[in-house]
Amino acid sequence: MRVKVAEYAALFYERGRLVWDDYLHHRQFELTEVAERVCRAFAEFADPDEVCAELAPEDAAAVRKVVDELVEARVLVVEGSAEHGEEQALLAAWASWGSSARHFHFATRTLGDTRYASWTEQDAELDDKLATNPPPPPFKRVGTGPVELPKGNGLPDWANRPLLQVLLERRTTRRFGEQPLDLAELGHLLRIVGGPLPVKGAIGRSGTVLKTSPSGGGRHPVELYLHAQRVEGLEPGWYHYDAARHVLEPLGTTWTPEQVATSAGDQEWVGEAAAAIYYTAVLGRTRWKYDTARAYRVVQMDVGHLSQTAYLVATAMGLRVGFTAALRDELVEEVLGCDPHHEIVLGVTALGRPRRRR
């Protein structure tokens, strides 16, 4: 029999304890110092009898006992066993994406016996939480000399376009014209994408919000930041969209087109856009209601819903639009003042006019 350490798990320290996290089977337990040393001896397939052959009889017996316990716990896998087959399938399927991706996927994958609370249970839990642990604000405010956005009266003409036609026309554009955007139409887009619905009870007491896009639990963690490059009536630079007041809050920094492109993984087309909407997520809003790792998946889905809404509104307006998640998070975090432990960078939507045909 030959055994080795399983590769469907990760190790991490938690409060001084070394934790074995078997993300494939959703099992965690502490490894002792002896167990860790034994694991190191079986980084590759080896015969336990051969490994113990050079040890004193008493030590060999002790090590062999630990080996048997680790095999039973599936920390060590036996060559040719079912666990070995599981491991090989995992490594083959996820090789190109690496260990981080497979860990995230399987650690947040639900199993057949996963328990979900009923609506009544969840409501009762949230009522108890409201009494002692109020939710974070549903909207962020920077508070530095806001720029009022045009309110507008009635629906603009583009709002009457048939939905199916807009869906069929939707495209990702990587070429933009040099003509500027209009502040009023940009304000319309921001309100529809990021603002609460103009209905009674759109903002609940627990921080839930009703918007044009769905969000897990109505938490809407996504925040909108605008980098304006060519917008009539707006100074170039960085702004935060305060959806509660429907205003833009200047952040006091302006990027060049080259800096915008660099932040987007050197994609020049993002830097050529008239404006770019960067999306972040305030994790505390979603975490307040959902305390499981799977909720992190939901946050990623939320930005997908929002970016599709931006696509459709921009298409209806006759604008060109494109989305990318290929960002250098650190650069965006620095300019926005985001703490990546609490507000994460998700993606960017580039906007502009169509290119004029020669």
- State the CB neighbour count (10 A cutoff) for residue 98: 9
The terminus-to-terminus CA distance of the chain in angstroms comes to 74
pLDDT at position 358 is 62
Q: In the block, which residue shows the tokens 């990702």?
A: 172
Distance from C-alpha of 346 to C-alpha of 281, rounded to nearest angstrom: 7
Q: Which amino acid is at 173?
A: T
Handedness of CA 226, 227, 231, 237 (dihedral sign): positive
Distance from C-alpha of 319 to C-alpha of 355, rounded to nearest angstrom: 10
Distance from C-alpha of 63 to C-alpha of 38, rounded to nearest angstrom: 7
Give Cα separations from 338 to 11, 63, 124, 342, 349 (angstroms): 29, 49, 33, 8, 18
Distance from C-alpha of 147 to C-alpha of 38, rounded to nearest angstrom: 63
Contact 78, 71 (CB under 8 A): yes
pLDDT at position 156 is 86
Any bridge partners for residue 279, and if so which?
Answer: 224, 347
Domain 137-352 class?
alpha beta
Tens digit of pLDDT at every position of the chain (358 positions): 999 999 999 999 999 999 999 999 999 999 999 999 999 999 999 999 999 998 899 989 999 999 999 999 999 999 999 999 999 999 999 999 999 999 999 999 999 999 898 989 988 999 999 999 999 999 999 977 899 998 766 778 899 999 999 999 999 999 999 999 999 999 999 999 999 999 999 999 899 999 999 999 999 999 999 999 999 999 999 999 999 999 999 999 999 999 999 999 999 999 999 999 999 999 999 999 998 999 999 999 999 999 999 999 999 999 999 999 999 999 999 999 999 999 999 999 999 999 887 6
Contact 208, 217 (CB under 8 A): yes
Q: Strand 76-78 to strand 3-5: parallel, antiparallel, or no bridges (unpaired)?
A: antiparallel
Domain residue spans of the chain: 3-107, 137-352
Distance from C-alpha of 66 to C-alpha of 59, rounded to nearest angstrom: 11
Distance from C-alpha of 204 to C-alpha of 206, rounded to nearest angstrom: 5
Pick the CATH number of 3-107 from 3.40.1350, 3.40.50, 3.90.930, 3.90.550: 3.90.930
Give Cα separations from 46 to 78, 79, 87 (angstroms): 10, 9, 17
pLDDT at position 54 is 85
- State the CB neighbour count (10 A cutoff) for residue 233: 15
Distance from C-alpha of 56 to C-alpha of 61, rounded to nearest angstrom: 9
